Structure 1
Amino acid sequence: MVDLVKMRASIAEILLIPVAELHGETRLENSDNWDSMARIGIVALVFEQTGVNVSGEEIDGVVTVQDLFDLIDRKIEVAA
């Protein structure tokens, strides 16, 4: 089971924003820190916390935090 609270905190850390400002509808592209390094960090975070791989292309298709969580859920379902 994915610890979404921990993952949310880690995403906030990668984006250098307070976790209180990170919600499901938060658009990642609106963060000043949503760059190639943040995308790589998210790919690594997802693998570290879930054991599933997401590609850079899949991350590029993510718009909101909820989109990211939905992508993770789909990847976990496929891997199961």
Structure 2
Amino acid sequence: MKAIKHLYLHFIDGQRLALRFPQQHDDPVEIVRGIRKQLDSPYLSIEVDGDLLLIPRDSIKYLQITPAPMSLPDITVVGAELID
């Protein structure tokens, strides 16, 4: 059974969208490649309950994926903590 991931989209207007989905790939290289493809696209594309959501990237303030993928893009700062 594939691990379950959670994606939280935080939008510029303050709204938030929470999604749950199975891990898309087992290969760490494919995970990083998929993240890069999504980040290079003007739209974030997500299939939800048989529907395709195309979310304009310029409306997104930031994305949070939890737990983090097992493989991260090379430029990722690791070991950070959120503080108030």
For the criterion TM > 0.5, the same-fold answer is: no
Q: From the two aligned structures, give the one with the greater strand fraction.
A: 2
- Over alpha carbons, which structure has the higher Rg? 2
